[in-house]
Structure 1
Amino acid sequence: MTVPPLRSGWLRRFSSGSPDGTTLLCFPHAGGAASTYFPMSKLLAPLIGVCAVQYPGRQDRRSEPPLDDMAELADRVTESLTELDPGRPLALFGHSMGALLAYEVTRRLEAAGGIRPVHLIVSGRRAPGLPATRPDLHGQDDETLLAELRRISGTAEQVLADEELVRMLLPTLRSDYKAVECYVPPAPGDGVLSCPISVFTGTEDSHVSPEGAAAWEAYTTGACDVQAFTGGHFFVQTHREEVASAIAGRLHGRPSAVGQRAGHTI
């Protein structure tokens, strides 16, 4: 099946999904790129179509300066969504930085009253407005940033060993961290969504406590559930099949076929 192209510089479509399926819009973590979600698109096919956001400053947008403001990122992404098929249900998934951005885009979509997301899935991120679990990193030196990358194990060691790649990565990563660390959350009682929220978290993720994950409940008038996966901050990569099954279960009431083959119970 030919995947129709998107004109926007912001979106990458990896799979179209079935005519009666949902489109899942995915938001990468800090320093991440749209291609992070290509393997996920294969696991969710053929029912769920997957598009991913490509932030400026990486991969095919590496010549563009990165954006370091969460509100501007959310505005620009929201503007790009007019390309999506308005007749298909839309769900949003974001990991870490991507979780905050997915939440902010959902806020904008609900306020505009056009495209209304059917589900928001946030992963590896405590609820907005909670205190930071570490000092700000965007103003730290390169070695401190690299030490954090190694600690959370989200970047392959062979990448960190390549000096040229590291020089290319650090400015974008620093910009992403600034967007997260300078993010201004909505005032208490504001920014409440109507769509359901699912929260995915790692059992060994030092950035997200059980209380921090559960606090997302205050950000929707709909249902909110929390699911823990074994692993650290990047459990979405080490347990990709389980995560795909959990997504499929939330959006269409059944786990993905790959999750069933692998014998996972979600």
Structure 2
Amino acid sequence: MTVTDLTGTTWLRELKSDPNPSTVLVCFPPGGGSVTAYRTLAQRFGSGTAVFGIQYPGRQDRLGDALVPELTELADRIAADLLAWPKDVPLAIFGHSMGAMVAYETARRVEAGGRVVSHLFVSGRPAPDFEEPGRLHEGPDEGLIAQLELLSNDPESVRILRDEPSLAELVLPALRNDYRAVETYRHRPGEPLRTPITALVSKSDPTTTAEQAERWRAYTAADFELATFDGGHFYLDLPENQPALVDLIARTLSAVAGRSS
């Protein structure tokens, strides 16, 4: 297989090419995020790994596309594109925060479609049976901005949304939609994935504890690993964490590729 066999779509965007990838890692952004959330991280991977990201509607070059308010519908559409890729593409999936839930539901659909997912990485999100108690998507813009400030590594960078109404008008509709998707999501029980899962959590994440991340173990019939990092909810954006994060993912994918060769 060569990278030319991989076709980008409205949903799937190439972030890092590779002439002969042993694995293709597909990354799902957090709520309010876009494919560029993984641009820097993607470039840290060495040879053998091609990286694609998901571009949700309602942001960047998809600003005019209709928002999708149901998390499971997002998974339906993304899985359809992944299932259209050549069957010999070795596929792994990474998702952070809301992206972890979309990634999980997508993995369920990809497996049901007869494709193997070599590994699922779920980051910064409790296991699927967790139900969000809040309803930020029904509240005022102030609540959404305050939540962004709480979760951000740099709260000052978020406060511009208070001072620039035109920017808020661009950013907040997609964010509100994504909070709706997460806050209304209800897991439908089924067979555990055949895909191994690694759950990643940070020590100071106000949204997810290590105990909640550990509960992902019940959602796979294969191997499970829990990895902990320093930092808050967006620990993966911290330069000091990225080498260790990429090393963990790369080592895991290398081991998977070795077992399948």
Same fold, TM-score > 0.5, yes or no: yes
Aligned partners of 1:152 and 1:234 also within 8 Å:
yes
Query: Displacement of 1:120 after TM fit?
Result: 0.3
Question: Which residue in 2 is equivalent to 1:62?
Answer: 63
The question of 1:229 aligning with 2:229 is answered yes
Query: Displacement of 1:85 after TM fit?
Result: 3.8
Question: Which residue in 2 is equivalent to 1:257?
Answer: none
Aligned partners of 1:15 and 1:41 also within 8 Å:
yes
The question of 1:205 aligning with 2:205 is answered yes
Report the residue type matching 2:200 in the other structure: F
The question of 1:135 aligning with 2:150 is answered no
* Residues 91-131 of structure 1 deviation map (CA, whole Å, 9 limit, x = unaligned): 00000000000000100111121x21000000000101124
Question: Which residue in 2 is equivalent to 1:105?
Answer: 106
With normalisation by structure 1, the TM-score equals: 0.88
Q: Any unmatched runs of 5+ in structure 2?
A: 257-261
After superposing the two structures, state which structure 1 stretch, 11-20 or 156-165, moved more. 156-165
Distance 1:125 1:7 in 2: 27
- The correspondence for 1:240, drawn from 239, 242, 246, is 242
Distance 2:23 2:6 in 1: 17
CA shift in 2, pair 1:117/1:4, >3 Å: closer
Query: Displacement of 1:253 after TM fit?
Result: 3.7
- Cα RMSD of the aligned pairs, angstroms, is 2.1
Distance 2:159 2:99 in 1: 22
CA shift in 2, pair 1:183/1:176, >3 Å: same
After superposing the two structures, state which structure 1 stretch, 90-99 or 240-249, moved more. 240-249
Instruction: Give percent identity, aligned residues only.
Output: 37
The question of 1:39 aligning with 2:35 is answered no
With normalisation by structure 2, the TM-score equals: 0.89
Query: Displacement of 1:250 after TM fit?
Result: 1.1
The question of 1:14 aligning with 2:23 is answered no
Distance 2:144 2:119 in 1: 33
Question: Which residue in 2 is equivalent to 1:163?
Answer: 165
Aligned partners of 1:8 and 1:83 also within 8 Å:
no
Distance 1:80 1:217 in 2: 27
Aligned partners of 2:92 and 2:119 also within 8 Å:
yes
Question: Which residue in 1 is equivalent to 2:259?
Answer: none
How many pairs were matched up? 250
**What secondary structure sits across from 2:53 in the alignment?**
strand
